[in-house]
Amino acid sequence: MQRCPRAFVLRYGIAACATGHPTGQLLKDSFAIQTPWILMQMSIRETIRDYVEDYQMGLKWSNKLVRIKFNQAFQYRIKDRNSIIAQLQEWEEPEMVFRKVKPEKHLEEIGVERCIKLIQNQSFIRFLNTAIIKSLSFTKSKIIDGIKVYNSPDFLAEKDQERYLIRINLFGYNSIEQINQDAAVFSLGMKDQTIVQYTWKNGGWFVHKTNVSQKEKNSIRRLIHLDSKQMDNILKLVRPKNNMEQVPFADSPRACMHCSVRFLCPAKHGLEEAKSEQMSLMC
């Protein structure tokens, strides 16, 4: 949404509502296709979650097993991605945009290294050895002030009557303010718990523990409220006829570089040209 209101509308407005229509289905499938880099990150999370579950049952994996499990998860995701692309065959343009790939060796190495470094992290090991850890489902939403919010961390850890919410951040962080803001988001709808974030940055996992104040929670709720209002306003621009004429394009060509639906967007021939055309139509 921040990077492109149009992509947001296509994904959460049209693709979500028009699955019975061929273009709606095409959009849905296209958004399901992730880059191998993202699939590698998703496979790290999946491997760590499996590792923690087995560890809780007394099964400790060797590094060799971590590698096997990661590679299995990654290969499965790549296979799944390729099969979605194969289903798009009747559409010529997506074929040109999405290419079937094989799991790349260097991505496997990166994924395995990150998994092993996390399970060897001293703070992570302390949780594994001293807490009861439960995996949390990130597809489960919470209703915050009437708004459906997906803000689930990865684990809930309980030890010595203390409760911790653990989140594995695979995409780094820009500032401590961002870490604190993310912690406030994860804390919403939860009782007072310490938020523990393991974040990959510059070749290692950084640990941040945050206790979110009520003031910070209130401020993040206000932000969510404003975001949701903005989303509603954008979605209203297309109703009732799914008319995209007034929906703004991305603010930078960088957002278009990896956009899953570029082939369906007027910006495929250049973002600035698409914006000028839109301006002339609206005048």
Which residues of this protein are in contact with ligand SF4, per CB under 6 A?
4, 6-7, 249-250, 255-256, 259, 261-262, 265, 267
Residue number, 15 or 256, with CB nearest to ligand SF4: 256
Give min distance, CB of 257 to ligand SF4, in A.
8
Distance CA 25, CA 31 (A): 10
Instruction: Judge contact between 242 and 15, C-beta under 8 A.
Output: no
Write down the least CB distance from residue 264 to ligand SF4, Å.
Answer: 8
Q: What are phi and psi of 269, to 5 degrees?
A: -100, 10
Q: Which residue, 201 or 258, has its beta carbon nearer to ligand SF4?
A: 258
Torsion angles phi and psi, residue 31, rounded to 5:
-70, -20
Min separation Cβ 14 and ligand SF4, Å: 11
Q: How far apart are CA 34 and CA 84, in angstroms?
A: 10
Token pair in block for residue 47: 């491997």
Name 247's Cβ contacts closer than 8 Å, sequence gap at least 6: 5, 6, 9, 234, 237, 238
Nearest approach in angstroms of CB 256 to ligand SF4 is 3
The dihedral built from the CA positions of residue 271, 263, 24 and 45, taken in this order, carries a sign that is: negative
Residue that is written with structure tokens 């260097």 in the block: 106
Please, which residue, 6 or 217, has the CB nearer to ligand SF4? 6
Q: Compute the distance between CA of residue 47 and CA of residue 51 in angstroms, rounded to an integer.
A: 6
Distance CA 183, CA 34 (A): 26
Q: Which is nearer to ligand SF4, 165 or 259 (CB)?
A: 259
Per-residue tokens: 33: 């296709």
CA terminus-to-terminus distance, the chain: 25
Nearer to ligand SF4, 133 or 250 (CB): 250
Beta carbon nearer to ligand SF4, 47 or 278: 278
Q: How far is the CB of 51 from ligand SF4 (least distance, A)?
A: 35
Residue 184 or 265 having the CB closest to ligand SF4? 265
Beta carbon of residue 59, minimum distance to ligand SF4 (angstroms, whole number): 44
CB of 265 to ligand SF4, least distance (A): 3
- 3 state DSSP class of 154: coil
